[in-house]
Structure 1
Amino acid sequence: MSEKHTIKTVRSGAIFTLPYLVGLEKGYFAEEAIDLQLVEPGSYETAIKPIEDHHLVTSIGAIAKPFENGDVSFYRACEWGQVRRAQDSGRGHIVSKRASVASQAIFVRPDSPANHPQDLANKTVAVNFHHGSHYLAIQTLEGFVEPEELKVVHVGGPADRIRALRDGTVDAVAVMEPFITLALKQGYRLIAEAFYTGSEIASPDVEPEVYEAIDRAIRKAVADISSDVRPYLHYFVDEVPEDLGSISENDIQTWRLRYTDPAPYSQKEFDQTYRWLLKWGLVESGSDFGSLVTNQLPDQLPAQITSPITVSAQD
């Protein structure tokens, strides 16, 4: 493209936004005539006490509000949440899978009697409703405990969840990096962990050629991250609030940081996710692939997921 385009997107956690941070740092967006601007999300909806009913928490939360308000043109989040938000949104559709393949890990306190997932039956697991921690906690635990024994509760963002676990407000938490590293360093007990994909939602004003230019920059950044992630670990270290302690770059297990080239979101993936959301009452019926998904990337073979080849001091 010869004409320069200014595009704004949400600056979510480094685990989800790292390719954008690297692309900006390396000038890959500028090379594509994209003036990419990262906008800070709104505040997480934090509960004074854990909320048990997900209907009491909006799906249009911190990361989605700037989009719904028209302040940004696109944003990324977990696959399940994006299907729900695409249904609830008045502005956008799912346009591709995201580059980040993140994980959520479930932890308990060091003094907890829990040692494996079955031990969390009827125990409160703190999550952020309608985000990856919420959905992945259910998918992780539903194979181990009965549905009526699965007690996910809304607390808020990852820092709030760690505080709730520290203070004994909940029995367990689900968190992503860098809070996985923090929890491990502080001696919290890991019960289960799983990786999951996500997707991008964009507004109609992002033209296909603009999104393809953004995609080319992201692919260059993914290649850099996969070659050597160490120059970018400071983004994770900087996200840990001082009141929770600290981590160093050497504490981070780099095999957890997985990024892949973005790809179209297939109908098969959508249908499987939509059926699961319906089963748990996490989305309304009446939508389909055609109404929620408008792929903006050309059809291509599935990208190969790559992990950084470097190792940290604790690998």
Structure 2
Amino acid sequence: MATGDRVRLFHLPFSFMLPQRVAHERGYFEEAGLAVELIERDRESVDVKYIPSESSLTEDHGIDLYPICKWESIKRTWEMGDGRIVAKGTFADLPYTVFVRPDSDVTGPKDLAGVPVAVNRRTGQEYTAMRALEEHMAPEDVILKGFGMPTERLRALRDGEVEAAILLDPQSTLAEHMGFREVLSFDNHMGIVGGEGIDSEVLDAFMAAYDRAAMEINANPEVFREDYLDMLEKDSRVAPGLFEDIDMGAVRADLSVPRYEVPEPADRAELDEHLEWMKERELVEESADIDRIVAN
């Protein structure tokens, strides 16, 4: 747990979390008064997802702060007591995109009713996708199928194991170069969860350093281009078969570093509305209490 101003920060190596790594590597956390240890799992050791469903990050792994999907943050903090939500946001101009094969009969979002869509279960995609798809169909017509990491979703779509798949950039751009067709996009909503050792001063220092990194990336995006492309490079080593017939030079040329945003303090009323939506769909217990989910 956090000791004084020492913070164990879990890092998701996705494109929308780049400012967190930049703040750590460039010493912005340290200059804000925090001794941050960045905890990150190696891509080659991850088959399904980075955040384990079966264990608590704050209690079992000693993590003080961790980013996670906004809806999963509600479920995780309530069911596992894995900290409390301290912040939220979209973090970057990087929407989720639903892709289908070029010969698919799906031409628009409404055609996805009753069609299995590949997602990564218990991550940002599952609940975010449910809410987005419900804008175009009845809740009972939303069908999601777990396929793990982006490389696995792309493989399943390519091999015809699923009709549609949800991706984020840079994998969305890779999907376009594989010939897949976009039929829907929607925002990626995130949260940040803190353990017992995180107080308002530590959180303010974290936000200040994060803000500094985000503003620097926004001002000089090309300087951070290689950092942004890092996950795609790791994917190419983990799943080389996906990249055999792809002109990676063309993929890289099509990719642009997005504009980043700074997380905002958790909004209790907004999260309570999301909690009620989850209760209606039996995604979380009816007894779930927002006061045990959101930090004071």
Instruction: Tell whether the structures are fold-level matches, with TM greater than 0.5.
Output: yes
Q: Which whole-Å CA distance do the structure 2 matches of 1:236 and 1:67 have between them?
A: 28
1:250 matched to 2:242? The reply is no
Q: Which residue of 1 aligns with 2:151?
A: 159
Structure with the higher helix share, 1 or 2: 2
1:262 matched to 2:263? The reply is yes
What TM-score results when the alignment is normalised by the length of structure 1?
0.80
Find the partner of 1:128 among 120, 124, 127: 120
Q: 1:209 to 1:72 in 2, by over 3 A?
A: same
What is the Cα deviation at residue 258 of structure 1? 4.0
What is the Cα deviation at residue 189 of structure 1? 0.3
Find the partner of 2:46 among 43, 48, 53: 43
Find the partner of 1:119 among 96, 106, 111: 111
> Mind listing any 5+ residue stretches in structure 1 that lack a counterpart?
47-58, 296-315
1:106 matched to 2:98? The reply is yes
What is the Cα deviation at residue 268 of structure 1? 2.1
1:160-201 CA distances to partner (integer Å, 9 max, x unpaired)? 111111111111111112111111222210010011321111
1:40-77 CA distances to partner (integer Å, 9 max, x unpaired)? 2473548xxxxxxxxxxxx9539x75444233211101
Q: Which whole-Å CA distance do the structure 1 matches of 2:164 and 2:129 have between them?
A: 10
Q: Which whole-Å CA distance do the structure 1 matches of 2:75 and 2:256 have between them?
A: 31
Q: Which amino acid aligns with 1:90?
A: G
- Secondary structure, in 3 states, of the residue corresponding to 2:24? helix
1:259-305 CA distances to partner (integer Å, 9 max, x unpaired)? 2222211122112211211222211121232211115xxxxxxxxxx
Q: Which whole-Å CA distance do the structure 2 matches of 1:118 and 1:29 have between them?
A: 45
Q: Which whole-Å CA distance do the structure 1 matches of 2:272 and 2:261 have between them?
A: 22
Q: Which moved more, 1:112-121 or 1:241-250?
A: 241-250
Q: Which whole-Å CA distance do the structure 2 matches of 1:34 and 1:82 have between them?
A: 24
User: Which fold has the larger relative contact order, with Cα–Cα distance below 8 Å and residues 6 or more apart in sequence?
Assistant: 2
What is the Cα deviation at residue 224 of structure 1? 1.1
Q: Which moved more, 1:191-200 or 1:222-231?
A: 222-231
- Secondary structure, in 3 states, of the residue corresponding to 1:239? helix
Q: After TM superposition, list the pairs within 5 Å mapping 1:156-305 onto structure 2.
A: 156-240=148-232, 241-242=235-236, 243=240, 244-245=242-243, 246=248, 248-254=251-257, 257-295=258-296
1:67-121 CA distances to partner (integer Å, 9 max, x unpaired)? 4423321110111111111112234101112571442110011222211112222
Q: 1:99 to 1:190 in 2, by over 3 A?
A: closer
Q: Which whole-Å CA distance do the structure 2 matches of 1:106 and 1:181 have between them?
A: 12
Partners of 1:60 and 1:85 within 8 A in 2: no
Q: Which amino acid aligns with 2:37?
A: Q
Partners of 2:124 and 2:189 within 8 A in 1: no
1:70 matched to 2:61? The reply is yes
Number of residue pairs aligned between Structure 1 and Structure 2? 278
The runs of at least 4 consecutive aligned structure 1 residues that moved more than 6 Å come to none
- Secondary structure, in 3 states, of the residue corresponding to 1:180? helix
Backbone CA RMSD of aligned residues:
2.4
Q: Which residue of 2 aligns with 1:82?
A: 73
Q: Which whole-Å CA distance do the structure 2 matches of 1:250 and 1:109 have between them?
A: 23
Partners of 1:233 and 1:249 within 8 A in 2: no
Q: Which whole-Å CA distance do the structure 2 matches of 1:253 and 1:292 have between them?
A: 36
Q: 1:23 to 1:287 in 2, by over 3 A?
A: same
